[in-house]
Structure 1
Amino acid sequence: MGKINVLDKHIADLIAAGEVVERPASAIKELIENSIDAGATAVTVEIRNGGVTYLRVTDNGCGIAREDVPVAFLSHATSKIAGKDDLRAIGTLGFRGEALASIAAVARVEMLTRTADELAGTRYGIEGGREQYCEDAGCAEGTTIVVRDLFYNTPARMKFLKKDITEGNAVAAVVDKEALAHPEVSFRFLRDGRETLRTPGDGNLKSAVYAVFGREFTESLIPLDYELNGVKAFGFISSPAAARPNRSMQNFFINGRYVKTRTAMVALEEAFKGSLMVGKVPACVLHLTVPLEAVDVNVHPSKIEVRFLNERPIFDAVYHGVKAALNVGDKPHILKLADSAVQPKKRETPPMQMRFSAPLPKQKTEPEKPVHIVPTVREQPIPTVPKAVPAMSFHAAVKAPDIEFSEEEPAAKPLKPSQPPVSEKSEKVPEPEPQYTAEPEPAVPEEKPERLIGEAFGTYILLERGDDIIFVDKHAAHERLLYEKLKAQSGESDRQLLLEPVSVTLSKDEYSAVLESLDICAKAGFEIEDFGMGTVLVRTAPMILGGNGVAEAVMEIAGYLASNKTDLTTEKVDWLYHNIACRAAVKAGDPASSRELIDLVHRAEREGVRYCPHGRPVFFILTRKELERQFGRIQ
C-alpha cells in the first residue's frame, strides 16, 4: 500500500494559510491593501484584544458585485492579474488571490459590500473555509470585512501568539506603514474602542508623518525630492542632529508598498557619512518610484522583500538625493539667547579685566568695596607668599603662574606652617608638584614609587611605577567600575527625578517591547510610562547618567528589547547595566586632571578590574627590561 496521501482540501488550506496569515497584523495588512486597490480614500481599522477575537476593516472603495463575492474567497481568485505577462509589471498591492481564502480558512469571517450600481448590498458569512450564508443587506458603498476568533480551528498556531498588547502594537505598526505609504488615503485606527490614529488623507506626506510619529520627530526632518535615471526619490530624512541608535525608524516605500531594501538603506547611510557620530544612523520616510518592470515583488508571501533588475539606479538616486537634501536642509543650529543675555543691564562697577588683556584705566570714582583685580602676568608684583598651584593636566602646554591674588582678600597673607618663606635672593620660585585638595586615599598595595607620565591619544593613561609602565584604557576601566557598582546595587540603583519628563518616540515594535519590560527598565533606574501613539515618557533616570543622553539611552534599550525576543530577564538586565555604564563612563578625549587619572588607576587596582563589560582588556604592563630589549640595550 502506498504511503503518499493527497491531503484533504481543508487541511491543505490550513497549511497554505500559515504562509500568509501569521498573526492579526498579517490579516490587517492584506485587508488594507485590498481596500487601497479598490480605490478607497478612507479606511477604518478596528481591533479588540490585539485583533485575536475581533478585527474589522471598512473602506469606501468600489465594492464587490454580488456574483463575485463567493468567488473572492476561493484560493488564487483575483481581479488584479489575468495572465503570466501581468506578473512582469505588477502595479497593485495584492495580486496572488490568497488573502481572503487564507483568512477565511482560520477564522469566522463576515463581509458587507455594495457597488455603486447596486441598490442592495451583500452580506456573506464563511467559517473555516465553509460558506455559511449569502443574503441581501443594507450598507454603504464600499466593503466591510469583520474577522472573529482568528485561529479558532488551529490551536497550534494560536498558542504562538503574543500578549494582546504585543499583537495590538503589531497591528498599529502595519496601519502606520500603510498610512505613510498612502498619504492620499485617510486612515482611522480604533483599538479597544479608543481612537489612536487618524490621518487627514490630504495627499501631503508630512501630514501623515505628523499624525503617525508626532511633532518632535516631524520637526527634525529634512525634505527630499530628487530624480535620477528614471528613479524618483521623495520624502523626508532626519537631520544629523536627530540621528538614532538603530534603524527602526527607517521607512522605505517602493511604488506605494512598504519594503525592506538593503540597497536603499546602504545608500542612505553612505550619504550621511561624515555627518553623523559613530554608532548613529539616520531615520527616514522615503518613497521611491521605480518602473514596474524594474522591480519584482513576487519574492515572498509577505511581499515585503523585493528584487531589482538593476540596483545601481536605486542606489544612485537615494545617495545623491540624500546628499542634495543635506546640502540644502542641514543648517547649523543657532543658539537663541535670552533677552537678558543679549542686552545685559548696565553695571554700576567697572567691568572685570580679562586675563592677558591691557590694563583698564583707573576710575575716578571708586566703589565703596573695591574689587581686587587679578593682574596679568606682566603686572604681577614680586611675590611675597607662594601659594599651592592647583592640579594641572599633564599635557598642558603653558604653565600657569605660581601665584594669584584673590578678589576678596589682599595679596599679603600670613604664612602657613607648611609653607617656608621665600628668600629674596631666590631667582626662581620652584614649582610644586601637582597636589590634591581632596582627602588622602588608601595606600596602593604595592609600595613602589610612581609617577604619572601622561595620557596618550586622550585615551590611555601611562603610569610609571618602579620598573614598570602601566597602560590603562580610561574608558574601559571607568565603564567596568560603573558596571560593577550597578550590579552590586541589584535593582536599587541611585536614580534622579528629571525636572521635565523626557518624551521618546519609538517604532511600534520598540514601543511594545518597552511596555512589556517596564519592570526591567525600573531595575536599571528608568521610570517609564506610556504616553500613547508610540511615545513613552521617562520620569527618572540613573544618577550616573547625569541627566544627559536619557532619550538616546532609552532608544538603545528599546531597540535591544525589541530584537531580543526571548524572556531572559537576567540577560536583559545585565545588558542594561552594560549600556548605562558605557554611556556614563568617561570617553576618549574627555579632559581629566592628573588627580582623576591616578585615582581611576588606583580604584581599578583595588577592585581587581581586568576587563571591561564587553570583554576588552583594561590595562597591560610594559616592563623596563622589555623596553630596554626593544632599544637593544640588553639581549
Structure 2
Amino acid sequence: MNKINLLDDELINKISAGEVVERPMSIVKELVENSIDADSKNITIEIIDGGIPYIKVLDDGCGMNEIDAVLAFGRHATSKIKSTDDLFNIGTLGFRGEALASIASISKVLLKTKEENSLYGTLINVEGGKILKKVKCGCEKGCSVEVKDVFYNTPARRKFLKRPSTEAMYITDMVAKIALSRPDISFKYIKDKRMEFMTSGNNSVNEVILRLYGDELYSNLIETEYNDEYMNIKIFLCKPSYTRGNRNMQILFVNGRFVKNKIYTTAVEEAYKTLIPVNRYPVAITYLNIDPKNIDVNVHPTKLEVKFSDEKEIFDSIYKSIKNALNRSNLIPTIRHDMFTYADITENKVEEKSNPKQLNMIEEESTNKILEVYPNNKSLVSNVKESSEKAYFDYNDVNAFNKEIENTHIENFNTLPDERDDYKIVGVIFSTYIIVEKDDVIYLVDQHAAHERILYEKFMNMYNNVQGKQTTIPILINIEPGDDVIINENIELFNKLGYKFESFGNNSIILREVPVVLGQPESRQLFIDIIDKLKRDDFNKDINLKEETIIMMACKKAVKAMDSLSKEEITSLFNDLKVTENPYTCPHGRPVIVSIKKYELEKMFKRIM
C-alpha cells in the first residue's frame, strides 16, 4: 500500500488557509488589500462579534466580470503578476492569488461584484471552497464580500480563537493601520453595528492620526522627512514625554504596505535611547518608499514581513532622521494648573502643637481647601522614588505622568534660557532641584540628571580620543567560563574604550591599561559590567556598547541628589547644561528640566480666573 498520498484540492485549500488565515483579522486584511488594489476610493468594513460570525468589506473599485469572479476563488489566481520577474517588482498589496480561495475554504462567502460599464453584476455563493450558486444580480460598481461562520468546518482551528472582544481588537488595530497607510482613501469601520471611525480620504496623514489616535498623541507629533536617490522617508514621531507600554505604535509602511521589521524598531528605539525611561516605547509612524527591487515581500504568507537588500542603509536613514528631528525640537515639559488637585484641609494631619486660632484662619481664608501639588505632599514635579539617590522620578505610573506633562515648541519661553538671557538662579529645594527664574517662567532642574547629561555628552565627545593609563600594578580579573570568547571578539571595542589586557590563563586576564576619563582611571568593575552587557542576547554591540558604557560612567561620576552645591557650582552646572545637545533628559530618559509659567501660578492662587 502506498505511503505517499496526493492531497485533493479541498484539503490543500484548508492547509493553505492555515497559513494565510490565522484569525478573522487576517480575512479583513486580505479583503481590504484587494479593495485597495482595485483602485477603490471608498471602503467600508463591518464586523460582528470579532468577525467570527460576520465580516463584510464593501468597495467602489474596478469590480470584476463574471469570468474573473469565478476565477478569483481558484488557487493561485491573480491579476497582479504574470511571470517570475514580476515577483521582484511588486507594486500591489496582493500578488499570490491565495486570499479568496483560502477564505472560502474555511467559511461561507457571498460575493457581489460589477464592472463600471456592465449592465449587471455577478453574485457567487461559496461554502467550504465549493461554489453553490452563481447568478446575475443588480449591484453598484465595485465589490462586496460577506464572510460568515469563520472556521465553521475546522473546529480545531476555531477553538484557538480568542474571545470576540479580543478578535475585534485585532481587527480594529489592523484596519486603523491600513487607514493610516492610505490617507487618500476614505475608510468607514463599523463594529457591532456601531461606527468606530471614518476617514475623509483627503490625503492628510495628520487628519487620519487625529481621528484614529486622538488629540493627546496628535499634539505631541513631530514631523520629519528624508530623501535621497534610493528612498523617501516621512516620519511622524512623538516627543519623548509621550510613550507607550509596547511597540504597537512603532508603525512602518513600505511602499504603502504595513509591515513588521526588526531593523526598523531597533532604529527607532536607538534614536530615543537616552530620552525615554526603561520599558517605555516611542511612537513613530513611518512611510518608506523604495524601489521594489530592493525589497522582498515574498517572505511570509501573511506578507507582514519584508527583507531589505541593504538593511544598514535603512537603519542609518531612519535612525538619523529621528535623531535629527528630536534634536531640533524643544522638549521641556510644562507643568499646568490642571495638574494640581485640591484636597480637604481636614485630610492633612496637623500636629497637636498647632495653634487652633491659626488653623481657623487658614480654614476661613481657603474655604476649607488647600492647594495640593500632589497627594501626600510629594514633590512639585512628580512623585519622587525613595532610592539610594532619592531623586529619580517614579515611573510606575508613566501613563499618568505623561498625561500631566505637556510639551510645546511654540512658545519661546519654554526654550532653555540662553547664556545671554537675563535669568536668575533662585536657589535649591530638597537639596536636589535647582530653581531658575527667567521672564515669566520658573525652571526646575534636577541637579543629578543635569550633571549626568553634561558628563554623558562630554564622554561621548571624548570617546574617539580616550586615553589608556598604564596601571602601576597590573590588575588581575577573574572571568567566567566563556567570557574569554566574548572579550576576544570585542578587542577593538575594548581598545577604543582605553583598555589594554592579556590572558593570564585559568579564566583570568590582566589589565595593563584602563581608560582615563576626566583625569581619573576607571575601575575594574566597569570592565566586568561591559562583559555582562555583551552577553545579552538582545544587545547590539555596534550601537549599544559605547553608549551604555558611557551612561554607566556618567551616572557614577555625576553629583547626586542631596549633595550640597555652592552657588558657583550651581551656576557652572546650569551654564554647562545649556550648551549640551539635548538638555531635556538624562541618558536614562528621565526629565532634567520642567517649567512652570507665572500664569499657571497666578491661576493656582486665584489671582486670575
Give the alignment's TM-score, normalised by structure 1: 0.54
Decide whether the 8 Å contact of 1:184 with 1:203 is kept in 2. yes
Question: In the alignment, which residue of structure 2 is the partner of 1:147?
Answer: 147
CA distance in 2, matches of 1:590, 1:152: 63
CA distance in 2, matches of 1:337, 1:197: 32
When the two chains are superposed, the root-mean-square deviation of aligned CA atoms in Å is 3.3
CA distance in 1, matches of 2:116, 2:15: 37
Q: Structure 1 residue 55: deviation in Å?
A: 0.5
For the pair 1:75 / 2:75, whether they are aligned, the reply is yes
1:30-429 to 2 correspondences below 5 Å: 30-334=30-334
Percent of residue pairs bearing the same amino acid type: 40
CA distance in 1, matches of 2:89, 2:400: 56
Q: Cα distance 1:75–1:221, how it changes in 2: closer, same or farther (>3 A)? A: same
Q: Structure 1 residue 228: deviation in Å?
A: 3.3
CA distance in 1, matches of 2:101, 2:330: 49
Decide whether the 8 Å contact of 1:228 with 1:317 is kept in 2. no
CA distance in 2, matches of 1:108, 1:115: 23
Q: Cα distance 1:501–1:178, how it changes in 2: closer, same or farther (>3 A)? A: closer
Decide whether the 8 Å contact of 2:241 with 2:402 is kept in 1. no
Structure 1 stretches of 5 or more lacking a match? Answer: 339-405, 410-457, 462-473, 484-497, 505-587, 594-635
CA distance in 1, matches of 2:387, 2:50: 50
Q: Structure 1 residue 212: deviation in Å?
A: 1.2
Amino acid corresponding to residue 32 of structure 1 in structure 2: V
CA distance in 1, matches of 2:118, 2:50: 35
Question: In the alignment, which residue of structure 2 is the partner of 1:551?
Answer: none
Question: In the alignment, which residue of structure 2 is the partner of 1:19?
Answer: 19
63-72 or 31-40: bigger deviation = 63-72
Q: Structure 1 residue 333: deviation in Å?
A: 3.9
Amino acid corresponding to residue 271 of structure 1 in structure 2: A
1:385-534 to 2 correspondences below 5 Å: 460=388
Q: Cα distance 1:48–1:592, how it changes in 2: closer, same or farther (>3 A)? A: farther
CA distance in 2, matches of 1:134, 1:28: 23
Amino acid corresponding to residue 167 of structure 1 in structure 2: E
CA distance in 2, matches of 1:123, 1:77: 18
Amino acid corresponding to residue 127 of structure 2 in structure 1: E
CA distance in 1, matches of 2:211, 2:265: 24
CA distance in 2, matches of 1:97, 1:459: 59
Decide whether the 8 Å contact of 2:151 with 2:157 is kept in 1. yes
Q: Cα distance 1:216–1:499, how it changes in 2: closer, same or farther (>3 A)? A: closer
227-236 or 186-195: bigger deviation = 227-236
CA distance in 2, matches of 1:336, 1:11: 63
Q: Cα distance 1:43–1:274, how it changes in 2: closer, same or farther (>3 A)? A: same
Q: Structure 1 residue 244: deviation in Å?
A: 2.9
CA distance in 1, matches of 2:257, 2:192: 27
Deviations 1:238-279 (A, max 9, x none): 101112343222111111111111112222222223333344
Q: Structure 1 residue 499: deviation in Å?
A: 12
CA distance in 1, matches of 2:116, 2:107: 29
For the pair 1:29 / 2:32, whether they are aligned, the reply is no
The residue matched to 2:211 in structure 1 has which SS?
helix
Q: Cα distance 1:296–1:499, how it changes in 2: closer, same or farther (>3 A)? A: closer
Amino acid corresponding to residue 210 of structure 2 in structure 1: Y
Which structure is higher in helix share?
A: 2
The residue matched to 1:168 in structure 2 has which SS?
helix
Q: Cα distance 1:177–1:2, how it changes in 2: closer, same or farther (>3 A)? A: same
Amino acid corresponding to residue 161 of structure 1 in structure 2: L
Amino acid corresponding to residue 326 of structure 1 in structure 2: L
Q: Structure 1 residue 133: deviation in Å?
A: 1.3
Give the alignment's TM-score, normalised by structure 2: 0.56
Decide whether the 8 Å contact of 2:269 with 2:282 is kept in 1. yes
Decide whether the 8 Å contact of 1:232 with 1:317 is kept in 2. no
Structure 2 stretches of 5 or more lacking a match? Answer: 339-354, 359-385, 406-558, 565-609
Q: Cα distance 1:168–1:590, how it changes in 2: closer, same or farther (>3 A)? A: farther
Decide whether the 8 Å contact of 1:235 with 1:287 is kept in 2. yes
Larger Rg: 1
CA distance in 2, matches of 1:67, 1:247: 44
Amino acid corresponding to residue 284 of structure 1 in structure 2: A
CA distance in 2, matches of 1:161, 1:246: 22
Decide whether the 8 Å contact of 2:242 with 2:402 is kept in 1. no
CA distance in 1, matches of 2:222, 2:109: 44
Q: Structure 1 residue 21: deviation in Å?
A: 0.7
Amino acid corresponding to residue 262 of structure 1 in structure 2: K
Q: Structure 1 residue 158: deviation in Å?
A: 1.0
Provide the aligned length of Structure 1 versus Structure 2: 364
Deviations 1:417-443 (A, max 9, x none): xxxxxxxxxxxxxxxxxxxxxxxxxxx
Decide whether the 8 Å contact of 1:459 with 1:475 is kept in 2. yes
Q: Cα distance 1:58–1:337, how it changes in 2: closer, same or farther (>3 A)? A: closer
Decide whether the 8 Å contact of 1:229 with 1:317 is kept in 2. no
Decide whether the 8 Å contact of 2:335 with 2:404 is kept in 1. no
Decide whether the 8 Å contact of 1:108 with 1:127 is kept in 2. yes
Q: Structure 1 residue 324: deviation in Å?
A: 2.5
CA distance in 1, matches of 2:337, 2:27: 53
Deviations 1:571-590 (A, max 9, x none): xxxxxxxxxxxxxxxxx966
Decide whether the 8 Å contact of 1:231 with 1:313 is kept in 2. no
Q: Cα distance 1:80–1:148, how it changes in 2: closer, same or farther (>3 A)? A: same
The residue matched to 1:241 in structure 2 has which SS?
coil
Amino acid corresponding to residue 101 of structure 2 in structure 1: A
CA distance in 1, matches of 2:40, 2:191: 21
Question: In the alignment, which residue of structure 1 is the partner of 2:596?
Answer: none
The residue matched to 2:173 in structure 1 has which SS?
helix
Q: Structure 1 residue 327: deviation in Å?
A: 2.9
Question: In the alignment, which residue of structure 1 is the partner of 2:364?
Answer: none
CA distance in 2, matches of 1:127, 1:499: 50
CA distance in 1, matches of 2:403, 2:88: 49
Q: Cα distance 1:197–1:106, how it changes in 2: closer, same or farther (>3 A)? A: same
Amino acid corresponding to residue 250 of structure 1 in structure 2: Q
Amino acid corresponding to residue 143 of structure 1 in structure 2: C
CA distance in 2, matches of 1:28, 1:244: 26
Q: Cα distance 1:502–1:329, how it changes in 2: closer, same or farther (>3 A)? A: closer
Decide whether the 8 Å contact of 1:227 with 1:321 is kept in 2. no
The residue matched to 1:327 in structure 2 has which SS?
helix
CA distance in 1, matches of 2:189, 2:337: 42
Question: In the alignment, which residue of structure 1 is the partner of 2:533?
Answer: none
Q: Structure 1 residue 56: deviation in Å?
A: 0.2
Q: Structure 1 residue 280: deviation in Å?
A: 3.1
Q: Structure 1 residue 501: deviation in Å?
A: 14
Decide whether the 8 Å contact of 1:229 with 1:313 is kept in 2. no
The residue matched to 1:248 in structure 2 has which SS?
helix
Q: Cα distance 1:123–1:315, how it changes in 2: closer, same or farther (>3 A)? A: same
CA distance in 1, matches of 2:240, 2:402: 24
Q: Cα distance 1:81–1:500, how it changes in 2: closer, same or farther (>3 A)? A: closer
